[in-house]
Structure 1
Amino acid sequence: MATERPPTPRFFVLDHEMRGPHDTTFSKVSPVNSAAAPRCPVCGDILGMRLWLPPYRGEVERYGSAFGDFVKPSGYDIIISERMAEAFQAEGLTGLQGFHPVEVTRVRVRRKRPQPLKVPRYFVATPCFGRAAMDVAHSRLRIREPMKCTECRCISVDSVHGFTLEPGTWAGEDVFRPRGEQSSIVVSERFAAFVQRHALTNMKLIPTEEFVWDSSRLGPPPDAPGSH
């Protein structure tokens, strides 16, 4: 009798829900201290933006009717509510580092309510750089410069029209930045269920195979389905 193969795990790109009922953004205020951006230990290429250092201070701007649990990322960090931070840690999810309290220096409100809303306590957390790697051969990419380093797997692309992760490279993190696609925050199915179970707000979870980044509107690569 043949052994059943375990189902292939699904992954999602995490983004904030613009123009939703909990649309909330965050802006850093001076002084903004930072350290050098992380580099690939093999080729030395820069892997992201500079690291944000204390003090963690900033302004919160609410566009929706209520404050969100997830706030539009600031650099390579994310801002999350206290209830989200506590639930994440209590349930043993992995991949977020830091959980430092943020001092909110000012609140801007774009949509008024009859009664003012209490601003939740916010924390800054940093998604880890995971071992999971983008499967270039099975992703729909317009590649400008091919991969040069097999460790960081950085490539230059003009557009992304869905991507997959190489089987066997994921180490089980629930939130991470994959090699080859470090600009995206990718989350597990367990994280997606966690968001739904706690009714966490201001998050959009896009299946990686449906994720599109195409600021120049180039369309899918010529050999991609639906590109003709």
Structure 2
Amino acid sequence: MLKDELFGSHDTKFSTVEPIHLGDAHRCPQCGEPIGMLPQVPPFRGVLELYGAALGDFVESSGYDFLISERMAEAFRAEGLTGLLGFHPVEVVRVHRKRRGPIPSTVPRYFAVTACFGRGAVDEARSLIRRDEPVTCPECRGSGADTIHGFTLEPGTWQGEDIFRPRGLRGDIVVSERFAEFVQRHGFTNMKLTPIEQFVWDPGHKGPPAPSS
């Protein structure tokens, strides 16, 4: 699982500014329901909000988009990794320092990207996920999660993307072992990687679901 490193030394966020242009929603080819939020389309303009000591290589934004630094974008392409879409240049209007400290004298170039919707599907039987409603469509598996206490993918569904959003958990980003090694080797910042079997998200402190009978 890929998340930003909240409260880390490179904790950075991005807020878009008006005007914001939105495209058409992705729709499930089987049930026709929209998949996720409306995607933002270029141009991308906004404010970097700096909470850490320095700007990060990975920056969360609104919707399914996030920012990566130019050095990360170049390395991703050069090494032939897969799963990122877009690579739209971002205009940084300003840097807003959210905690004490100097504003950076230089700001790296950023690109707006999104992780593709992958074919990898959550294995409901072998995952510890509380759903707010049953999964009804076998294709998109669009159903929200109340809690996650580790999950796994159905064997044979992942098609090798290095970064993607899985069916059944479209709001989360899964990465390959190769991607994790890529991040570690280059020292990219503001990225927290957790094995999916150990990932916990439980904002209401409800605990894991009861075992199925």
Which TM-score bucket, shorter chain as reference? over 0.9
Q: Name the TM-score, length of structure 2 as normaliser.
A: 0.95
The offset of 1:37, in angstroms, is 1.9
- Percent identity among equivalent residues? 61
> Matched residues in 2 for 1:61 and 1:135: separation?
37
Query: Quick check: 2:161–2:176 contact (8 Å CA) kept in 1?
Result: yes
1:112 aligned to 2:105? no
Moved more, 42-51 or 128-137: 42-51
> Is the aligned partner of 1:185 residue 2:173?
yes
Pairing partner for 1:102 from 79, 82, 90: 90
**Counterpart contact for 2:81–2:162, Cα < 8 Å:** yes
Specify which of 31, 46, 49 is matched with residue 43 of structure 1: 31
Work out whether 1:56 is the aligned partner of 2:44. Answer: yes
Corresponding residue of 1:219: 207
Amino acid at match of 1:168: G
RMSD: 1.4
Q: Is the 8 A contact 2:14 2:59 kept in 1?
A: yes
Q: Larger deviation: 95-104 or 206-215?
A: 206-215
Within-5 A mapping of 1:14-163: 14-109=2-97, 110-113=99-102, 116-163=104-151
Once the two structures are TM-superposed, the CA of residue 73 in structure 1 deviates from its matched residue by 3.3
What is the alpha-carbon distance in structure 2 between the residues aligned to residue 79 and residue 205 of structure 1?
Answer: 17
Instruction: Report the secondary structure of 1:107's partner residue.
Output: strand
Label 1:116 to 1:57 Cα distance change in 2 as closer, same or farther (>3 A). closer
Unaligned runs of 5+ in 2: none
Q: What secondary structure, in the 3-state scheme, does the structure 1 residue paired with 2:26 have?
A: coil
- Output the TM-score relative to the length of structure 1: 0.89
Query: Mind listing any 5+ residue stretches in structure 1 that lack a counterpart?
Result: 1-12
TM-aligned CA deviation for residue 211 of structure 1: 1.3
